[in-house]
Structure 1
Amino acid sequence: MHRTARTAIAAAALTLLPQLAFAHTGVGDVHGFSHGFAHPLGGLDHLLAMVTVGIFAYQLGGRAIWAVPVTFVALMAVGGALGISGVDVPFVELGIALSVVVLGLVVAFGVKAPLAVAMALVGFFAIFHGHAHGEEMPADASGLAYGLGFMLATGLLHLAGIGLGMAIGRFGEAYGSRYVRGAGAAVAVAGVGILAGLI
């Protein structure tokens, strides 16, 4: 099996871990889990940023295919815990909008950042996304179930981004990277629209 395919399968398995934990702990409630799962899917800013993290990971290749998404999910969980606990994080909405612009530009320009830099970049923005998720948790939801829900949804969005990058890349070496970069540019433009309040 091709190394990239093996890495993608490993990333998919990692995204299932929260679901498995939820199934076996017996502590989560369905209400919290479903709300948590739906939250990243309900906002264009979250959707664009999380899918673009997957595309960015695909562009970097190698260990980044799993390390970049896992870093995002882990630090998003930290941000979520802060939001659930009522700990204030300044400029959350600005940070989320900027994440769409910056991640889109990184993909558009095909930035080959060192792995540590890529992980730090996505981790920084993940805290804002996580805080927004945590802050909007329903009062009657289980924090653990809610957190597992948004972590699983985010992991699946990262996988979608990796898959999208791979699918676009299949157009061929000559044009595949152009289309991937074009997708990044479109995301960055959408991010500017979100930042300006136009979207």
Structure 2
Amino acid sequence: MNSKARYFQILGLAAFLLPLYVNAHPLHGATGDVGFLSGIIHPLESFDHVLTMLAMGLWLSRSAKQTIYFMPWVFVALMLIGSSLIFMPVEIVHAENIMNLSVLLLGLMLAFRFKASLLIEALIVGNVMVFHGYVHAYDIWLDVDAFAYTVGFSVATVMLMATGIAANQLFNRLEDKYSLAGRTI
């Protein structure tokens, strides 16, 4: 069997298993949340949050240096605004799917180094954060100690974004060091 066929078999198997791991709350019990520590742990154990925040960090690292320090907190504020939407009597249908598609779009834009206008970028990033907050709303607001959980959740979110920023800076250094641009092979 050639390597392309093997690649597509593995990709198909991964796609088959994806719904379990992309779900915002895989294998997550209703009584598992008890405050700050749960708030720190939850973003690190839910695959959607890790991917989303790393993508946000990678995206953020493309912006101006001055914005890197305060934008993670703006992103957390947007996420908390999204989580407060559960108090509205209107349910957002397919919020998790919308968030996942936004992250996919963001990832494709990152992968292909697509440059969009600031307004389009702000809409995509804002959409990701607001819907991500909405998807995680029940974890935040229905916790035994919602305030402590929210603080822990926010701290872990910023740490994941900082990891994305650091990863992008490492990628850029490696690209500069091992770039084949201008060399003939």
TM-score normalised by L of structure 1: 0.63
Which residue of 1 is the match for residue 176 of structure 2? 173
Equivalents in 2 of 1:172, 1:95: separation in Å?
33
Which residue of 2 is the match for residue 82 of structure 1? 85
Counting only pairs closer than 5 Å after superposition, residues 120-131 of structure 1 correspond to structure 2 as 120-131=123-134
Match of 1:59 among 62, 68, 72: 62
Q: Does the CA-based 8 Å contact 2:99-2:127 persist in structure 1?
A: no
Equivalents in 2 of 1:69, 1:106: separation in Å?
19
Pairing 1:109–2:112 present: yes
Which residue of 2 is the match for residue 133 of structure 1? 136
Pairing 1:98–2:101 present: yes
Q: CA deviation at 1:83?
A: 3.6
Equivalents in 2 of 1:146, 1:84: separation in Å?
18
Q: Does the CA-based 8 Å contact 1:36-1:148 persist in structure 2?
A: yes
| Cα deviation digits, residues 27-81 of structure 1 (max 9, x gap) | xxx9322222222212212111110111111123334434543332111011122
Match of 1:146 among 128, 146, 149: 149
Which residue of 1 is the match for residue 34 of structure 2? 31
Structure 1's 121 and 67: CA in aligned 2 closer, same or farther, altered over 3 A? farther
Structure 1's 89 and 145: CA in aligned 2 closer, same or farther, altered over 3 A? farther
> Structure 2: which amino acid aligns with 1:82?
L
> Structure 1: which amino acid aligns with 2:72?
P
> Structure 1: which amino acid aligns with 2:110?
V
Q: Rg larger in 1 or in 2?
A: 2
Equivalents in 1 of 2:172, 2:89: separation in Å?
42
> Structure 2: which amino acid aligns with 1:57?
L
Count the aligned residue pairs.
148
Equivalents in 2 of 1:174, 1:121: separation in Å?
32
Pairing 1:41–2:64 present: no
Equivalents in 2 of 1:141, 1:107: separation in Å?
38
Equivalents in 1 of 2:92, 2:63: separation in Å?
30
Q: CA deviation at 1:156?
A: 0.6
Equivalents in 2 of 1:59, 1:138: separation in Å?
33
Equivalents in 1 of 2:53, 2:102: separation in Å?
9
Unaligned runs of 5+ in 2: 1-32, 180-185
Match of 1:157 among 156, 160, 171: 160
Equivalents in 2 of 1:54, 1:70: separation in Å?
12
RMSD over aligned Cα atoms: 2.8
Q: Secondary structure at the match of 1:110?
A: coil
> Structure 2: which amino acid aligns with 1:98?
L
Q: Does the CA-based 8 Å contact 1:41-1:153 persist in structure 2?
A: yes
